[in-house]
Amino acid sequence: MSHLLNQLFQNPKPVIAMVHFPPLPGTPLYDEAKGVEGILESVARDVRVLLEGGVDGLLFCNEGDRPYALQADFEAIAVMTRVITETAPKDRPFGVDFLWDAKAPIAIAAATGAAFVREVFTGVYESDMGLWNTNPAAMLRYRRAIGASHVRVFYNITPEFASPIGQRSVGQVARSAVVSSLADAILVSGPMAGAEPDLSILREVKAAVGDQVPVLLNTGAKASNIRQFLSVADGVIVGSSLKVDGYTWNPVDPARVREFVEIVQDVRKSA
* Domains defined along the chain, listed by start: 3-270 (3.20.20.390)
List b or e across 34-66, with b for residues whose CB sees 16 or more CB atoms inside 10 angstroms: eeeeebbebbeebbebbbebbbbbbbbbbbbbe
Average pLDDT rounded to a whole number, residues 248-255: 97
The pLDDT of residue 271: 72
Average pLDDT rounded to a whole number, residues 236-259: 97
Picking from 214, 234, 238, the residue whose alpha carbon sits closest to that of residue 224 is: 238
Residue range 42-70, pLDDT digits in tens: 999 999 999 999 999 999 999 999 999 99
Residue 192: pLDDT above 90?
no
The fraction of the chain above a pLDDT of 90, given in percent, is 96
The pLDDT of residue 194: 80
Average pLDDT rounded to a whole number, residues 110-124: 98
The pLDDT of residue 2: 55
Residue 73: pLDDT above 90?
yes
Residue 1: pLDDT above 80?
no
Distance between terminal CA atoms of the chain?
15
| Phi-psi map region of 182: left, alpha, beta (phi>0 left; psi -120 to 50 alpha) | left
Residue 3: pLDDT above 90?
no
